[in-house]
């Protein structure tokens, strides 16, 4: 006589949620139904996006401000220090210190993110932004500057991990793509603010210190704002079904959080929506805590391949290197002075901002895959043009400028926002904390690798061959996107796990 499949129950007030250890006997609450639009208030949806997105703005600000601070800190007359004569290695540590800190932050997130939760992780990130900026600005010696840069970078690592998770888990399905993609918009906006503040302060004595102090009010606003926000209801429900607290209390807390996130428009449907999410989590097996072995098996491994693969190709298709050559290309076009270079950087950032805004507007209607395939195809064409310019067409400056602008624009409608959006969507809830930390570690690690290998490869192969290598990698990324990356438009996070993995 066959034994009965064990079932788990969790009282939900209005009904009883049941699950089984295999899918055959489980409920399928919403996984095979067509969803109507979720009710939400626009005003209520703004702040749960805005405060986490400030982490992206602070990340972008660091990129823009540091490009100006690097010139300020080396100036004999304006650095305000006796140790302005920095070596090549010290300049590298100054500019990339936040990147190494972000790598550390990604490793920390892997171990503590699911325990802390998205909200508390963002509070820690805001605290690290504040501490890192102040340590850097008040440093009395160069080693302290590097420590400050690394502390700030740890904030970047945690914020880039927790912000997309929190936004994706709390946003209504029909605008989830818009809101998560807007985080990339905030990164680019932060770059513009950083360039702008840096260009204003660059002629001041110790101007580099003021550049970092200038971002501290934003870090304070982010921290206070996150403290005001509710917990992610999905994180609370995950803890409930995994037995990491009183199930009934966690369910009630999730209902209260959902009402705050959706506003008055949700009416009396919050308990029903919470129960539907809980039932789906049981159906797809979220009550089982993920193990390290399981990360590399089945749908968990597929999610890791999709997420880490997208962020890997985001970096190794040449994004940092193309921007490195932007100055020399535009100098050839007549922008030769330092002030011209700063203006050009701002103009490129504005182009990135406009193209990111275009992607944000259409991502929930057009979909993720069309933007990725179309945008990366444009990047591939741009890389071919840039490689051809440096190898065969040195007199055709127009080709180089077209290639540069095409690359920047196409990156910002594809890998830029969509990469971060997809990693916030494809990971199963119980793997989401660890999965995103793996993807972000791959992102920052490959960024560091490309930055490290760029100069030696440039000397060995030349700029033209280097861009042709990026061109081939870009073609490979198109194959990866076409065959591996799913379309997630219009699906709830639970449906993505059930149908796409």
Buried b (16+ CB within 10 A) or exposed e, 174-202: bbbbbbbbbbbbbbbbbbbbbbbbbbebb
Residue 270 pLDDT > 90 = no
The whole-number average pLDDT for the span 461-481 is: 91
Write down the H helix ranges in 74-141. 88-116, 118-137
On whether the CB atoms of residues 153 and 132 are closer than 8 A, the answer is yes
What is the pLDDT, as a whole number, of residue 134?
95
pLDDT-derived band at 313, boundaries 50, 70, 90:
very high
Query: What's residue 215's pLDDT?
Result: 93
pTM of the model: 0.81
Q: What is the mean pLDDT of residues 45-63?
A: 91
Locate all alpha helices (DSSP H) within 173-297, ordered by sequence: 176-201, 207-213, 216-228, 233-241, 247-262, 270-283, 292-295
pLDDT of residue 345: 67
The residue ranking higher by pLDDT, 124 or 94, is 124
Q: How much helix, strand and coil, in percent to the nearest 5, is found in the chain?
A: 75, 0, 20
Of 4-8, 29-33, 368-372, the range with the lowest mean pLDDT is: 4-8
Q: What letter would DSSP give residue 19?
A: E
Task: List, for residues 196-222, the tens digit of each pLDDT value.
Answer: 888 888 888 888 899 999 999 999 999
Q: Which tokens hold the place of 139?
A: 């440093």
Question: In the prediction, which pLDDT does 2 show?
Answer: 40
The rounded mean pLDDT for the chain is 81
Task: Dig out the tokens for 286 from the structure.
Answer: 């979220």
Q: Rounded to whole angstroms, how far apart are CA atoms 331 and 268?
A: 61
N-term to C-term CA, the chain: 34
CATH number of 42-230+292-500: 1.20.1250.20
């Amino acid at each position: 006589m066959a034994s009965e499949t064990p079932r788990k129950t969790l009282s939900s007030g209005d009904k009883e949620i049941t699950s089984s250890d295999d899918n055959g006997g489980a409920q399928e609450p919403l996984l095979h139904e067509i969803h109507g639009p979720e009710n939400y208030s626009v005003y209520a949806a703004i702040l749960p996006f805005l405060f986490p997105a400030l982490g992206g703005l602070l990340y972008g600000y660091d990129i823009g401000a540091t490009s100006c601070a690097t010139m300020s800190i080396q100036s004999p007359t304006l650095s305000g220090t006796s140790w302005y004569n920095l070596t090549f290695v010290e300049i590298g540590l100054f500019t990339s210190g936040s990147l190494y800190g972000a790598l550390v932050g990604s490793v920390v997130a892997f171990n503590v993110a699911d325990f802390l939760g998205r909200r508390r992780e963002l509070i820690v990130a805001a605290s690290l932004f504040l501490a890192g900026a102040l340590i850097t600005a008040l440093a009395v010696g160069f080693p302290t500057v590097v420590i400050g840069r690394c502390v700030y970078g740890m904030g970047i690592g945690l914020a880039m991990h927790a912000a997309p998770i929190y936004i994706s888990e709390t946003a209504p399905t029909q605008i989830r793509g818009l809101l998560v993609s807007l985080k990339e918009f905030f990164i680019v906006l932060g770059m513009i603010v950083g360039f702008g503040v840096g260009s204003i302060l660059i002629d001041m004595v110790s101007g580099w210190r003021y550049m970092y102090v200038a971002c501290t009010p934003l870090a304070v606003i982010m921290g206070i704002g996150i403290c005001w926000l509710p917990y992610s209801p999905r994180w609370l429900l995950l803890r409930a079904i995994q037995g990491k607290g009183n199930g009934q209390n966690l369910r009630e807390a999730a209902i209260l959080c959902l009402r705050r996130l959706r506003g008055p428009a949700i009416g009396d449907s919050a308990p029903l929506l919470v129960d539907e999410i809980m039932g789906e989590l049981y159906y797809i097996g979220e009550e089982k805590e993920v193990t390290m072995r399981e990360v590399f098996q089945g749908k968990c491994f597929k999610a890791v391949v999709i997420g880490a693969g997208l962020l890997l190709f985001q970096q190794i298709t040449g994004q940092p290197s193309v921007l490195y050559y932007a100055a020399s290309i535009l100098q050839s076009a007549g922008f030769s002075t330092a002030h011209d270079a700063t203006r050009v950087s701002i103009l490129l950032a504005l182009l990135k901002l406009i193209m990111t805004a275009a992607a944000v507007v259409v991502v929930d209607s057009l979909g993720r895959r069309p933007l990725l395939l179309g945008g990366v195809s444009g990047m591939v064409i741009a890389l071919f043009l840039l490689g051809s310019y440096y190898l065969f067409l040195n007199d055709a400056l127009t080709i180089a400028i077209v290639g540069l602008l095409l690359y920047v624009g196409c990156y910002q409608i594809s890998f830029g926002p969509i990469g971060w959006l997809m990693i916030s969507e494809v990971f199963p809830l119980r793997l989401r904390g660890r999965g995103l930390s793996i993807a972000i570690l791959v992102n920052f690690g490959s960024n560091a690798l490309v930055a490290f290998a760029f100069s030696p490869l440039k000397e060995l192969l030349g700029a033209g061959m280097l861009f042709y290598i990026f061109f081939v990698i870009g073609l490979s990324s198109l194959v990866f996107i076409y065959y591996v990356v799913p379309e997630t438009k219009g699906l709830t996070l639970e449906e993505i796990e059930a149908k796409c993995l």
